[in-house]
Amino acid sequence: MPADDTRTPNAPTRRSATILQVEEVGKRFGGLQALSDVSFTVQRGQIKAVIGPNGAGKTTLFNCIAGNLAPTAGKITFAGQRIDGRPAHEIARLGLARTFQNIKLFSGMSAVETVMVGRHPQTKAGFLPCLCRLPWTRREWRLSHKRALELLDLVEIADHAEKEATSLAFGQQRAVELARALATEPDLLLLDEPAAGLNMYETAELGRLIRKIRDQGVTILLVEHDMSLVMEVSDEITVLNFGQKIADDAPSAIQNHPEVIAIYLGEDDAQGT
Amino acid sequence: MRPYLPFPFLLCLVVGVQLLTQWTDTAYYLTQLTMAAYYALLVIGLCLLMGYAGQISLGHAGFFGIGGYISAALTTHNLAGVDNSLIRLLERLGLLAASTDMFGDPLLTVHPWAAAAIAILTAVLVAWLIGGPVLKLTGHYLAMATLGFGIIIYRIALATPFFGEADGISEVPPLPLLPGLAISGDFSARVTNYYIAWGLLALGLLLLVNLIHSRIGLALRAIHGSEEAAASVGVDTAKAKLKTFVLSAAYAAAAGIFLTHYNGGIGPSEAGIMKSVRYVAIVAVGGMASLWGALLMAVLLNFLSLRGLFGTYDDAVFGLILIAIMLFAPDGVLRLGIAARLRAWRQAHASR
C-alpha cells in the first residue's frame, strides 16, 4: 500500500509508513545555534540511530522531539500530527515515549511502582474516583500492576520488582527506565544513549532487547555513542555535527562516509573503522 | 489492605482515650483532643501536598482562615431588617436561618451549611487562582510566594470590620451534621464532639490513604521524584500539582470551618504566619511522606500546645522543632527511631 494512500480516508487508523518527520528543525539558545536545519524521517518498524560527537546537538534534538524543548525553527510531525512546541506530557500521550541520558527515576519508589507510573496514559482514574477508591479504579490498578511485572520480566529484572528503583545497579536502573517508557505502549520509543555506562556484555544484551522491542511493533530512534551497538542494530543512521546533519544513510554507507570517518577518527586516521 | 491496617488501631485508641478520661475524671482533656483532631485534618492535607506531591505551602493557615472566617462571618452577620432581592432569594432557597439573639431580638443569618459550602468553595476558588501561577515556582520561590499569600489573608482578617478586625468573630452557632448531632463547643456535647471530630478526621484520612495508593498517588510521587520524567510518561504535572494544592486547601478550609463552629469563634492569629510555619513543622516531624506520622504528630503537638505546656514560648517551640528536625531527622522522628533500632539490631547480630 502506498504511503499516502487516500482511498480509505475513513479508516479508523491511517497508518502511513512515516511515523516521524523532522523538517528543517533549528534550536537556538541565546547566541548558540545548537541545531540548524535538521531534517530526517523515521519509518514505522525501523531502528534508526542518531550519532555524532559530543555537543553535536543529539540530546537537544531529542528534547525538541519529546517536547522538553520547543524548537526555534522547523516542523516536527509525529503520526500525522504537528508536535513541535507541544508539552511533553501531550506528546507522550500521542504514543511517543523516551528514556533519559542521565537516568531519571523516582526516588522512594519501587521498580514496579516506577513502571506503573508509565501506565498513566493507559489508565483513567482521576482524583475523585481515586479518593473514593471506586472498584473500577482497583481493577485498573491490578491490571497496571500485572502489566508492569510483565514489562520488568521483558527487560529481565523481574526479580527486583519490589526493590527501590534508585538502589538498583546502573544497568538495572536503565532497564527500569526502559520498562517505564514501554508501559506507555508507545508507537515510537526514543532512547537517549541507552548503552552509556554499560559493559560490553550488557551492551550486547541491550542490542538484543532493542530488536526484541522493535519486533513487537515499536519503532525506535536512538542516540548512541557506542558504535558497535549502533552498527549492529540500526537500519538507518543520521549523523549530526555542530548541530547540522551531515549524513543520513544505511550503516554500511555511513561506515564508509568520508566526512563521518573524519569526524570520528580524525583526518589522519581515515583508514580505520 | 496493608495501608488500612492502622485504622482499627486508631479506632481502639480513640475509644480507649475517651474511656480513660471518663474513668479518671479528666474529660476536660477531650476539648483539646477535639481541637487537635481538627488541626490534624489540615495537617494531613498539607502532608499530601508536601510529602507526596513535593510542593511546599507556607500559607495554609490562610486557607484555614478563609474557611473559618467566612463561615463565622456569614453565620453571625445579622441580616434581619435588611431587605433586598438577594436576601429574599436566599430566604426562598432556604439558605437562611432565623433565630433570636441573647437579648431576644430577631436574628437572621446564613444557614451554617450554606455558609460552610460558600467557605469551602471560596477556599477552592482562591487556591485555584493562586495555585495556577504560583505552582510554576519551585523550592524557595514557591515557599516565599505562598508565604506572601498567607500574609495577605492574615492582614485582610486583621483589617476588615466585616471579619471583626483584631477581635475576630465570636458567638458562632453550632454546625448541625445530623438530627441531634452538631459541631458545637457546648459543655454537654463534649464527648459527642470528640467522636465527631475524630470521625471526620478518620474519614479525611481514609480518603487520602485511598488517593495515595492509586494511580494519582503514583503520579504525585513521580512528580516529587522528577517532574521531567513524570511528564515523559504522560503525567500533566502542572494540572496534578494544582489539583493537589486545591484539595489540600479544601482540607485546610474544612478544618477551619469545623474548628470555628466548635470554638464558637475565630481570631486573626488562626490565619497567621506562625500557624502556617507550625503546620509545616508538624508535617516535617511526622516524616513528610507519612500521613499517619503527620496525623500523630499533629495531634500530639497541638494537644501539648493547647494544654499550654509550651507556655508563652509556644511559637518558639515549633521553630525549635523545625530546626532540630531539619538537622537531625529530616525523614521525621518516627522513621529515625525505627531505622536506628534496626541498624543497632543488625550490627549486634552481624558482629557475632
The residue-averaged pLDDT of A20-49 equals 94
- Asked if B214 lies within 8 A of A92 by C-beta distance, the reply is no
Distance CA B222, CA A99 (A): 15
Q: Residue A227: is its pLDDT beyond 90?
A: no
Strand partners, B96: B110
Q: Are B208 and B283 in contact (CB under 8 A)?
A: no
Q: How far is A138 from chain B (nearest CA, A)?
A: 8
Strand partners, A190: A98, A221
Nearest CA in chain B to A129: B211
Quote the pLDDT of residue A11.
43
- Per residue in A49-104, pLDDT (tens digit) is 999 888 889 999 999 999 999 999 999 999 999 999 999 999 999 999 999 999 99
Quote the pLDDT of residue A266.
64
**Beta-sheet strands, E only, within B8-146:** 96-100, 106-110
Higher pLDDT, B78 or A130: A130
Higher pLDDT, A7 or B294: B294
Domain containing B211 equals: 2-350
Higher pLDDT, A9 or A173: A173
Q: How far is A117 from chain B (nearest CA, A)?
A: 6
Quote the pLDDT of residue A93.
96
Calculate the average pLDDT of chain A. 89
* Interacting residues of B158 by C-beta distance below 8 A, sequence separation 6+: B165, B166, B268
Quote the pLDDT of residue B280.
93
Quote the pLDDT of residue A267.
53
Per-residue pLDDT of chain B (352 residues; tens, 9 = 90+): 788 999 999 999 999 999 999 999 998 999 999 999 999 999 999 999 999 999 999 999 999 999 999 999 999 988 887 778 888 888 888 888 888 777 778 888 899 999 999 999 999 999 999 999 999 998 889 999 999 999 999 999 999 999 999 999 999 999 999 888 999 988 889 999 999 999 999 999 999 999 999 999 999 999 999 999 999 999 999 999 999 999 999 999 999 999 999 999 999 999 999 999 999 999 998 888 889 999 999 999 999 999 998 888 888 999 898 888 888 777 776 665 666 666 777 777 776 5
Q: How far is B204 from chain A (nearest CA, A)?
A: 10
DSSP string covering A239-271: EEETTEEEEEE-HHHHHT-HHHHHHHH-GGGTT
Q: Is the ipTM of this complex over 0.95?
A: no
Quote the pLDDT of residue B271.
95
Higher pLDDT, A264 or A90: A90
Chain B within 8 Å of A88 (Cβ-Cβ)?
A: yes
List b or e across B76-111, with b for residues whose CB sees 16 or more CB atoms inside 10 angstroms: beebbeeeeeeeeebeeeebbbeeeeeeeeebbbbb
Per CB distance under 8 Å, which residues of B are interface residues toward A?
A: 207-208, 210-211, 214-219, 221-222, 224-226, 228-237, 243, 247, 289
- Asked if A106 lies within 8 A of B222 by C-beta distance, the reply is yes
Which of B50, B128, B213, B215 to probe by mutation at the A interface, max A CB count within 10 Å? B215
Of A259, A219, A221, A220, the closest CA to residue A239 belongs to A259
Q: How far is B17 from chain A (nearest CA, A)?
A: 29
Domains of chain A by range and CATH? 17-95+186-273 (3.40.50.300), 105-183 (no CATH)
The residue-averaged pLDDT of A181-202 equals 94
Grade residue A15 by pLDDT with cuts at 50, 70 and 90.
Answer: low
Distance CA A235, CA A116 (A): 31
The residue-averaged pLDDT of A103-132 equals 95
Quote the pLDDT of residue A12.
44
The structural domain count of chain B equals 1
Grade residue A269 by pLDDT with cuts at 50, 70 and 90.
Answer: very low
Distance CA B120, CA B128 (A): 12
